[in-house]
Structure 1
Amino acid sequence: MVIDNLSSKLYSILSTENKQDEFNEWRLLGQERDGNFLFSWVQTKENVSSTNIGIYNYHANDLRLLYSFDRKVNCVQASVNSSKTILAFVTKESKGEGSCEYTYKPFLYEINDEFEKVFDLDIERGKQVMVQFLYPKQSVLSENQPVKLLVFIHQEEKQECLYYNSAGIRQYKFKITEKLKENTVKYDSLVKTFVWAQWDPVQQTLYYIHNRKRNRGLVEGEDDVIEDTIGTKTTPTLSGLQFNDEVPHETVLNIPLNLPHLSSMPGSCAIYEDDTVPLRIHDCALDLVVLTDSNGSLCICHHYLYQGFFQPIQPVVDLNDEDTSPVHFAYSVTVLHHSCVIHCVVPDIPWNRAKKMRPLFILTGDHLVIFIPEICTHMLDVGIMHEPCCHITTSPIITDIETQFLCLAPVVSLGLGITINLATLDLIDANVPATLLAETFQSDTLLENKLAILHYFMLHAEDADLTSESDLLPWVSPQMLKEYLIGTSYSSVQRNLPSDASKLINLLPVTSLRIGNELEVELGDQMICLSQDVLWNASMMLLSPQQRIVPYRSDIWVKLWDQLAKVSKGPLRFKPSQVVDKLTVSLVCYQPEVLSRCSTPMSPSGGASKLNEFLGNQTGKRNQVDSLPFFEVDSCTASKQEHIISVNLRELSMHLLKQSSDNKMNRFQWQSQTPMHVHAVATRYITAQLDQSRQLCQILCKAACYEPRYELDKGFVYINQLSEEMRFVLFTILEKYYLAVESIAFPLPQGFTSFFTFLGYKTLNFDMFLQYVKRNVFELQVDVMKIIMADTDNSKTGIQRKLNLLTSLPRSRAKRLLNQWNHPISLMLRAREHSLNILSGVAGPPTSRTQGIQKNKGLTAFPSSDHLSPLDTFLDLLTAKATLTDIDFGLLVEATETSTEEFL
């Protein structure tokens, strides 16, 4: 979205003062640390054209003229010092009419002097030359503090011996009080030769690439070495010079890079884009940019084209401008603060199209946005919060601008995601809109892409409510529900965690996606491939805090060092699979009826008060509106929810204690993490699990059919009132919810188990329902069994179904239900169990006979004058095993009479 046009604003300012003049050919020459832009423009007055240089403050909408040429000049770049007293600029002139060769010349000018008096730095090169003033932290320099100017001279070819040895990076120093004269302007050589360089105005850091002796590449298994003219093996190395106010500059970074182009193109392609924002010195042989953030993030973005997938990467060669041969558009992002490299390849792009596409790399908070014109937009999750894994691929964010008129560059001090189109000077918001992500989520895209979008809304976006919109739910799957539960639980704990326990947040699960997963996303007719590699020991490439000139200086490099230390020797995140494995064993022996309310640490005896007290009253604070279609009460003595919560709490607490105590390499990070901190984090996370599980169930039920504002009936009555179609919809959604919750061992809301079981009973055919019971998906609690027993008729089929369900129950629960089943079959089964107990020596008190059963006189079919009937013989056998008071003769006789009837 275009938010402003700088050329129109500049024209408006100038035209009010000089209404008769013409102003055109606007060009951005640079941007300083304070956010001010440097522009050049051509002013035509009375048919005479001249070039002007000015400085523009966007927030104040103020343009100040700094220098005016007496003619039209091709000025390509400029810089002004912090006190706005000295201007440095570079001109680029053709060596001859119609020639493709150019000459770069840098100049200095004292702004308050006459326009024609400029100081020539006596540098004239056929390769690129750029200039940049250093900005101190103090807004005003003292008189004794010199002004520092960097002059970048790109490397010359070997045959140009006259200039080759004078290439490199120079630092000029001069005082403000002195006039610019030849004997007062002196320089030091900082870098001899370099392939590429970039200036970071915010951090005041110089990055440059040079060839350095090295035997090992940056990525494991990759060695990228080249030989110079004397046969010495070298590798391209990215170094960083940090400039400070009072102390000398220091080398804080040395990273070996994997740059295939440089191995086969030792020379230069001699074509310069003259990038001024950000200020980069390079030709077309290498397109690379370094992005940093003050929180310690550093990304090295390298864009290149190559041919051939199954051969070593080679640059594109011998293709003319109109050639349509397919090439691979690729880029790699070295995420240094996470010690990994992310690769992206867009295969089979026509050469004449690919050579015009210039990608945009910009950091927007926790994400690195890569915009590839006409192809796609990538959002790489590279923030400090967690490891890179949830990457998003969506359609291009800019579609209304032709590629040849699109040359985007990030700017500073205007807000995250604000870029400038160097071709039109339009300010463009490059942040990916939420509506575009929602459309991508609803489209037929890869599941991992949907999960990454869901993760973004839950943990990184300000408008997290989009995740609960019902219009997104038709596309839900157990994997997405699982991602929702993990993400919202993490986000909830992060918001409510005490500051002194914040280190432990890095141990909690943050996503269900696997880190380093390779993806192939199909966007339209284009395939996009993402992969990830791990770096070797990245901390060895960085200057440690104690090695700094000023030890432990508080800046980006100390933060980056701490982050690398956390990554290299850091702790492992807690995995829900640890609890799942424990529950797989413990739930086999789980018998709710034999547990007392005091047998688990989460027992809510006396109502829910003790549970809420244990969880820090977090659960009790939520709104207890009747938002679920069932009563949140479990009928069993000790619920499964209680058991799962206790296992989660125990496993998470042990994990937090172990990781915070075993991490000896980073002990300074964990020295304040006491068992009380572990308790606080563990209880808050378990609370978040329960709350988010309940909230998700509420969202799904509402999306399916339940509206708490209009529905009066709940529980089993509500299910009976639903139509078959609505039952099926509700069951399908709740089944996905159940699978998601079970796969990550989250607790279910109280009352859900019985509600879900009865819903399945009313939705599925009985054979399928019985399979769910045998696979422990449906739990036959007492309350749901009572209504199923009452709902099933006493036909032969119905009795058989009741017996199948009773045999699936634990013995104590089945016995309890048999006592309440007013049917002859129940009488017979209880008599058999009573006889079995006596014969096995487990005699108990006689059970009372079921009232209301009509007695059957079928015993007369066995007349015997000497009382030797089978029943008499059996009773004699029982009296020999137990006393008369232990035998329920009435039950046995009545059951014997009943057995003569055919019920099955």
Structure 2
Amino acid sequence: MVTVDNFTSKLCAIILGKNTEDVANEWRLLGQEQDETLLFSWVQSSKIQKDVTKIGLYSFSTNDLTVIHTFETVVNCIQASIDSSKTYLAYVIKRIDPNDSKIFTYNPYLLKIGTKNEICDLDLERSKQILVQFLYQKYSVLSENSPVKFLILIHQECILQYQIKNDNELNAENFFYESLVRKFSWAQWDPIHQTLYYIHNRKPTRCLVEGEEETPPSLTSKTSPTLSGLQFHDDLPHESVLNIPLNLPHLSTVSGNCGIYEDDSVPLRIHDCSLDLIVLTNSNGYVCVCHHYLYQPIQPTTELKDDDTSLVHFAYSVTVLHQSCVIHCVVPGLPWSKAKTIRPLFKYHGDHMLVFIPEVCTHLLDIGAMHEPCCHVITKPLLTNLETHRLCLTSLVTVGSDYVINLATLDLIDMTMPTNLLVQTFKNNPHLGNKLSIIHYLILHRSEMEIVSELIAWQAEKPLSLGLPQFLREFLIGSSYASVQRNLPSDASHLVNLLPITTQHMGNEFEVRINDKMICLSQDVLWNASMMLLSPQQRIVPYRSDIWVKLWEQLAKISKGKQRFRPTQVVEKLLVSLVCYQPEALSRSSTPMSPTGSSAVLNDFLSIGNQCGRKLLDALPFYEIESCTASKQEHIISVNLRELSMHLLKQSAENKISKFQWQSQTPMHVHAVATRYITAQLEQSRYLCQILCKAATFDPRQELEKGFVYIEQLQEERRYILFTILERYYLSVESIAFPLPQGFTSFFAYLGYKTLSFDMFLQYIQRNVLELQVDVMKIIMAGEFDLRLKENTF
């Protein structure tokens, strides 16, 4: 959200500390390595010597800058890489024709660091972009005979792997190379996982189905772009772990003539302006392919110029491989002159992906493995005080997951999503899906229950709004899941994934208006995503523990088709059972909330539920007491417990055959999860009732009376507001079969009696919205008797 540091000022301070007479400027980030060190270049000026370009190695943890090499003059070094032993430095010089900036050449060099600083020209001068990168071994301690390997990437030509012995002098005869890739259009290096991604054209695999006619060879010669991944190892050959057929819509439709390179070294990518694509991974097995492009729905007849104001569509797609889906976003109606300067940022943000589109919006895409990706948040842009053309944001491994660096200014910027921006979006944006996603995000991913309570109370000020019951349901389901997740033993964690977590569904399409721009979000499912991966048994080292095995495991879980528990299962059961519901026939010892019930279940309830439950007893406007033999609450709890236990047992038995899930879930685990979830249902239902009552009329710090007396003392207007809000609460709870707090049924029935006309009150009774228990019947009959006596209408 704000600039927290600037690398230029920090590095200049280090230079000044070593030599106060020198001046350093024109700083440039040349690359980052697996050991989190950063390579910078700068032009150093002094009164004695002429200006020269230097390359230095910076450690963020120690704040130390070490000069690696000093050129004799000022050169345009665009990228560099250093090996793990800090013995060799590879760098690329870009020479631009002084008469025509569109004519340039790239030259890679290899330098042996030492007193002589031996330099070897690799003799690969090209007009296409060239990048270099050393391979890092898993173990930092290398033997004397360990070969040093580095890659040279030449755009649209080839990717070469060079190898050199540490004890040899640096010349062309003492190292050899091999060609890894031919004819690629895009490439990216992942320094953390030592993976090379590249896009090349390949023919589709021909496979015939029974009854299908064979396609003539002339029709199968067409190639399609494919994203492949090469995984490198220490002492083993590299292996192709990934092959994804790509759908690159509107490629180069409005880009015009290309061949323009940005020469950004982080992340290390080879690409021109025709294809802006980035692959993001992390150690949990998350793999996302992000593609940004511009297009016009109607193809223009003339090529767009730089200052053209014609409207284009700004779009991106994120292929969430570990969730086997693709998320599409389109922002229509941006002028071409502005849209072509916007460079979106894609970065991981916890269990989400943060997509920042300068001057347009910020997206939080829910792509974590906790549940299906369906709760996406769209807000206003995070950064509003920086010009678009001065923004070139990228993530650094060194500085943490919440920060990015602006390559144009070397500013370090905090990209944490502020809570106040989410609150502002919730209150100002009318889109229901966006609001539900914000509630889900604050509960499940930020644990901001107080903020959510304030938002629910704010929404309750408009009790007649159509979205209020959905907000209440989202709160109940999300907060119950979060409560169970916090209090569950680790050995029963697999069963948590079978509990309901949100009311939203995967694949929902919605449109959100931010700053007068309509943003359209949609989602598609990938078909058989595991076929794009090399299976664990086909690896060079079978079942090697890395991100690709974790990705395979995640896709295997998705293919199993596990089903979360649906509250509608209980609702359907209750529709039948409540017709013949007889409280006096229900044993009080058969439900976990009964005072005389099972001691083990009751202890669980007291230890988990009463952490906040006792605090709520005095915060509700009614007494949590029911006079009937067995309440409706106990019946609902009993059905919930039975249905949930059966669902967990069935799903855990079906998923136990997975090779990667060695630990099966016992009935004791099922009992623990089911009991804690039912307990959480009741507690969150109580908590929500407290929030709504306080938002309506009731303040426990001022109100002295409770129950029926409190209703009698309420003014008519306040009584109507309280009834309207509690009616929405009752309908929300009933629709997902959550239990109501004890005493609510009688309180709500009497509140309806005092608020509604008598004829309307009878309709509520006949429709089973209001329930007449003994305590309510007594006071209503007594009141009606007194009224008839006064009016003499017997």
| TM-score greater than 0.5 by the shorter chain | yes
Letter in 2 for 1:214: P
CA positional deviation for 1:265: 10
Counterparts of 1:684 and 1:81, CA distance in 2: 53
CA contact (8 A) 1:260 1:315 kept: no
Counterparts of 1:681 and 1:315, CA distance in 2: 59
CA positional deviation for 1:645: 0.7
| TM score, norm. by length of structure 2 | 0.93
Sort the Cα spacing of 1:83 and 1:199 in 2 relative to 1 into closer, same or farther, 3 A. Answer: same
Counterparts of 1:542 and 1:669, CA distance in 2: 20
Counterparts of 1:62 and 1:364, CA distance in 2: 28
Counterparts of 1:172 and 1:413, CA distance in 2: 27
1:187 equivalenced with 2:188 (yes/no): no
CA contact (8 A) 1:503 1:669 kept: no
Counterparts of 1:332 and 1:556, CA distance in 2: 22
Residue in 1 that maps onto 2:697: 705
Letter in 2 for 1:33: Q
* 3-state SS, counterpart of residue 115 of structure 2: coil
1:284 equivalenced with 2:269 (yes/no): no
Sort the Cα spacing of 1:797 and 1:91 in 2 relative to 1 into closer, same or farther, 3 A. Answer: farther
Counterparts of 2:525 and 2:236, CA distance in 1: 35
CA positional deviation for 1:797: 10
Sort the Cα spacing of 1:109 and 1:605 in 2 relative to 1 into closer, same or farther, 3 A. Answer: closer
Residue in 2 that maps onto 1:658: 650
Residue in 1 that maps onto 2:153: 152
Letter in 1 for 2:23: E
Letter in 1 for 2:330: V
Letter in 1 for 2:720: F
Sort the Cα spacing of 1:718 and 1:23 in 2 relative to 1 into closer, same or farther, 3 A. Answer: same
Residue in 2 that maps onto 1:806: none
* 3-state SS, counterpart of residue 26 of structure 1: strand
Query: What is the correspondence of 1:733-772 to structure 2 with a 5 Å cutoff?
Result: 733-772=725-764
| Residue range with higher mean Cα deviation, 37-46 or 559-568 | 37-46
* 3-state SS, counterpart of residue 295 of structure 2: strand
Q: 2:633 aligns with which of 637, 641, 644?
A: 641
Residue in 1 that maps onto 2:222: 233
Residue in 2 that maps onto 1:822: none
Letter in 1 for 2:141: V
Residue in 1 that maps onto 2:92: 90
Residue in 2 that maps onto 1:424: 409
Sort the Cα spacing of 1:264 and 1:631 in 2 relative to 1 into closer, same or farther, 3 A. Answer: closer
Letter in 2 for 1:208: Y
Query: What is the correspondence of 1:502-581 to structure 2 with a 5 Å cutoff?
Result: 502-581=493-572
Q: 2:587 aligns with which of 597, 616, 628?
A: 597
1:719 equivalenced with 2:708 (yes/no): no
| Residue range with higher mean Cα deviation, 237-246 or 756-765 | 756-765
Letter in 1 for 2:651: Q
Letter in 1 for 2:316: Y
Letter in 1 for 2:171: K
CA positional deviation for 1:413: 2.6
Query: What is the correspondence of 1:89-238 to structure 2 with a 5 Å cutoff?
Result: 89-95=91-97, 97-115=99-117, 117-155=118-156, 167-214=157-204, 232-238=221-227
Sort the Cα spacing of 1:287 and 1:760 in 2 relative to 1 into closer, same or farther, 3 A. Answer: same
Counterparts of 1:19 and 1:578, CA distance in 2: 75
Letter in 1 for 2:339: A
Q: 2:59 aligns with which of 54, 57, 60?
A: 57
* 3-state SS, counterpart of residue 700 of structure 1: helix
Query: What is the correspondence of 1:254-653 to structure 2 with a 5 Å cutoff?
Result: 254-262=243-251, 269-308=258-297, 318-469=303-454, 472-473=458-459, 474=461, 477-592=468-583, 594-598=584-588, 600-602=590-592, 604=594, 606=596, 612-613=602-603, 615=605, 617-625=607-615, 626-653=618-645
Counterparts of 1:598 and 1:719, CA distance in 2: 30
| TM score, norm. by length of structure 1 | 0.82
CA positional deviation for 1:708: 2.6
Residue in 2 that maps onto 1:80: 82
Counterparts of 2:111 and 2:244, CA distance in 1: 37
Letter in 1 for 2:542: P
CA contact (8 A) 2:203 2:220 kept: no
Letter in 1 for 2:675: T
Letter in 1 for 2:581: Y
Letter in 1 for 2:498: L
Counterparts of 2:63 and 2:492, CA distance in 1: 46
Counterparts of 1:570 and 1:317, CA distance in 2: 50
Q: Structure 2 unaligned runs (5+)?
A: 208-215
1:14 equivalenced with 2:15 (yes/no): yes
Letter in 2 for 1:737: Y
| Residue range with higher mean Cα deviation, 243-252 or 598-607 | 598-607
CA positional deviation for 1:266: 13
Q: Structure 1 unaligned runs (5+)?
A: 156-166, 218-226, 800-901
Counterparts of 2:656 and 2:301, CA distance in 1: 49
Letter in 1 for 2:223: T
Sort the Cα spacing of 1:231 and 1:678 in 2 relative to 1 into closer, same or farther, 3 A. Answer: closer
* 3-state SS, counterpart of residue 144 of structure 1: coil
* 3-state SS, counterpart of residue 167 of structure 2: coil
CA contact (8 A) 1:207 1:240 kept: yes
Counterparts of 1:603 and 1:702, CA distance in 2: 26
Counterparts of 2:446 and 2:233, CA distance in 1: 36
Letter in 2 for 1:508: L
1:682 equivalenced with 2:674 (yes/no): yes
CA deviation string 1:160-202 (max 9, x = no partner): xxxxxxx211111112222211111211111112110001111
1:34 equivalenced with 2:35 (yes/no): yes
1:731 equivalenced with 2:716 (yes/no): no
Letter in 1 for 2:773: Q
| Residue range with higher mean Cα deviation, 613-622 or 131-140 | 613-622
Residue in 2 that maps onto 1:845: none
| Residue range with higher mean Cα deviation, 412-421 or 729-738 | 729-738
CA deviation string 1:460-491 (max 9, x = no partner): 11544321236644367111111111011111
Letter in 2 for 1:501: A
| Residue range with higher mean Cα deviation, 762-771 or 234-243 | 762-771
CA positional deviation for 1:9: 0.7
Sort the Cα spacing of 1:645 and 1:566 in 2 relative to 1 into closer, same or farther, 3 A. Answer: same
CA positional deviation for 1:425: 0.3
Letter in 2 for 1:60: T
CA contact (8 A) 1:600 1:643 kept: no
Sort the Cα spacing of 1:90 and 1:526 in 2 relative to 1 into closer, same or farther, 3 A. Answer: same
CA deviation string 1:299-343 (max 9, x = no partner): 1000000110xx7xx799710001111100000000000000000
Counterparts of 2:533 and 2:480, CA distance in 1: 35
Larger Rg: 1
Counterparts of 1:263 and 1:18, CA distance in 2: 49
* 3-state SS, counterpart of residue 78 of structure 1: strand
Sort the Cα spacing of 1:231 and 1:588 in 2 relative to 1 into closer, same or farther, 3 A. Answer: closer
Letter in 2 for 1:7: T
Counterparts of 2:217 and 2:281, CA distance in 1: 32
Counterparts of 1:782 and 1:105, CA distance in 2: 91
Residue in 2 that maps onto 1:251: 240
CA deviation string 1:491-539 (max 9, x = no partner): 1111112222111111111100111100111113110000000001000
Identical amino acids, percent of aligned pairs: 62
CA contact (8 A) 1:210 1:237 kept: yes
CA positional deviation for 1:432: 1.2
Letter in 1 for 2:144: E
